[in-house]
Amino acid sequence: MTEKAKVDMEKIVSLCRRRGFVFPSSEIYGGLSSCWDYGPLGVELKRNIKQAWWQSIVQERDDMVGLDASILMHPQTWEASGHIKGFTDPLVECKNCHLRWRSDDLKSSNCPTCGGELTEPRLFNLMFKTFIGPIEEEASVVYLRPETAQGIFVNFQNVVNTTRRRLPFGIAQIGKSFRNEVTTGNFIFRCREFEQMEIEFFVKPGTDDKWFDYWVEERLNWYAKLGIKRENLKLRQHAKEELAHYARKCYDINYLFPMGWSELEGIANRGDFDLVQHASSSGKSLDYFDEESKEHFTPYIIEPSAGVDRSVLAVLCDAYDEEPDKDEIRVLLHLHPSLAPIKVAVLPLSRREKLVKLAKEIYADLRPGWMVSYDDAQSIGRRYRRQDETGTPFCVTIDFQSLEDAQVTIRERDSMNQIRVPIGELKTTLGAKLSGEPLFVLPPGGQIWKK
Ligand code: ATP
């Protein structure tokens, strides 16, 4: 059953468009179906999500290393992985209006738009084809990778040899993937060009079930730590008949998106499928020698595979809120401070020269530490609303009294409470608040200003 999320997709799309999070790709030419451009705020949010992932997966762990493999790979990769044969969707076309559909998405045997008769399903490969070198011939065909994972499998031996890693350990990668999706729509949920954050975690056969459970738990907790409400996250186990050809077991982490529960991340136990396939196709050994037991074996792989774009959408949907505010509605994004595109906005109360000078000095002083914005247009109330709508956790207001007492106010986005602090304490105070210290814990010389 599809539960209804609290926020409409139109509201998210409109906010993203209005405030420069996401634009349609090549919009001046009418856009390109299921391709999107991240604007000035979107690129920051996306970078912050990737940074949070990299930090928790690579930087803070001693059993993981990173990789950045190329998008174009030797075409044999895709033969061995099964993508050339099996990475397909069953496509049907309406004989009347010629619209195309994924037959496994359809509830009836007729066209959902005009009711026309549909063709027999034909398998449609989702990989984008292109040519390497100057001659467009079959021998020079290469593919835009449909997942980042294969770049990790083919580098397994390189990483083992150069880092002398012992099992269990993982290789993590963030990068672009491309799929010529048949069913598109739902904004950035399903794109033809998107980014993935993938882990391939190599383990000794027999310990794979334990590690699978570990990663399911770990990944679920990661989303919750970023502030996504636990009730909007759900696990779904794949039934046997729905498992991909390489998977022994698979769970999706689903999020309650505006269109209903849908996949945010997939976690699969891939067994030894990939390494065995690539070893046999390349003729190179991808075995592992276990020093302890003195055995050679092919490791099993646990793969948590997350989408950056779907994470951006989930984070935005989860953070979106509307509150009654005098005669209007206050729209705000309750973004976790680590994800907020702009951490602090510097707002001089007026455009008087003396105030602007001080505000610009403070703005310049804060910028090396965080993404900070400066806004002196329109009333202070409107400026606060603008920052609330894009999830800026703190506003620093410089008023005429600041010129006298060298103090400024810090206003918190969610509570709208304010404290006043000496300018000399501003940077450390903001640092502490952005790390989660309650607003009313005051620095020396600070005071509660407005509750
Ligand atoms: P779906 O069933 O929704 O098509 P999938 O099961 O094919 O997704 P995977 O192959 O498991 O997806 O890819 C791992 C992750 O990559 C997904 O959980 C998702 O976050 C992301 N992803 C996959 N396809 C797309 C896409 N077309 N647009 C955006 N993100 C995607």
289-338, pLDDT tens digit by residue?
Answer: 999 899 999 999 999 999 999 999 999 999 999 999 887 899 999 999 99
Atom of ligand 1 nearest to the CA of 265: 18
Q: Is the pLDDT of residue 3 over 80?
A: no
278 lines ligand 1 (CB under 6 A): no
pLDDT of residue 49: 98
Peptide bond into 168 cis (omega under 30): yes
Which residues on adjacent β-strands are paired with residue 451? none
Is residue 1 pLDDT above 50, yes or no? no
Which residue's alpha carbon is at the smallest distance from atom 29 of ligand 1?
190
Long-range contacts of 408-414 (CB under 8 A, 24+ apart): 408/362, 409/449, 409/450, 410/439, 411/384, 411/450, 412/439, 413/332, 413/334, 413/387, 413/388, 414/332, 414/334
Q: Give the CA angle between residues 177, 312, 340 to the nearest 5°.
A: 135
CA of 31 to the centre of ligand 1 (A): 22
Q: How far is CA 392 from the centre of its chain?
A: 19
pLDDT of residue 328: 87
At 95, the pLDDT band (50, 70, 90 cuts) reads confident
* Atom 20 of ligand 1, nearest CA residue: 307
Instruction: Taking residues 45-67, report their average pLDDT.
Output: 98
Q: What mean pLDDT, rounded, does the chain reach?
A: 94
Q: Report CA(233)–ligand 1 centroid distance (Å).
A: 16
Ligand 1 centroid distance, CA of 196 (Å)? 8
Q: Higher confidence at residue 52 or residue 91?
A: 52
CA 307 / ligand 1 centre spacing (Å):
7
**What is the CA(348)–ligand 1 centre distance, in A?**
45
Distance 37 CA to ligand 1 centre (A): 18
**Pocket of ligand 1 contains residue 181 by CB under 6 Å:** yes
Query: Would you say residue 451 has pLDDT above 90?
Result: no
| CA 305–ligand 1 middle distance (angstroms) | 8
Give helix 40-54 / helix 308-319 axis angle, nearest 10°. 110
Q: What is the mean pLDDT of residues 147-158?
A: 98
> Which amino acid residue places its CA nearest to atom 21 of ligand 1?
307
Ligand 1 center–CA 327 separation, angstroms: 42
Q: Is the pLDDT of residue 4 over 80?
A: no
d(CA 150, CA 152): 5
Beta strands in 121-217 (DSSP E): 122-125, 128-131, 141-144, 169-178, 193-203
Residue nearest to atom 18 of ligand 1 (CA): 265
Specify whether the backbone of 287 is left (phi greater than 0), alpha (psi in -120 to 50) or beta: beta
- Kindly report the protein residue whose alpha carbon is nearest to atom 24 of ligand 1: 190
308 Cα nearest atom in ligand 1:
20
DSSP string over 10-58: HHHHHHHHHHTSEEETTGGGT--TT-EEE-HHHHHHHHHHHHHHHIIII
Please report how the helices 9-19 and 308-319 are oriented relative to each other, as an axis angle in degrees rounded to 10.
Answer: 100
Choice among 55-59, 126-130, 135-139 with the minimum mean pLDDT? 135-139
> Is residue 266 in contact with ligand 1, taking CB distance under 6 Å?
yes
End-to-end Cα distance, the chain: 43
Q: Extract long-range pairs of 33-40: CB within 8 Å, 24+ residues apart.
A: 33/184, 33/192, 34/181, 34/184, 34/185, 34/190, 34/191, 34/192, 35/191, 35/192, 35/193, 36/187, 36/188, 36/191, 36/309, 40/341
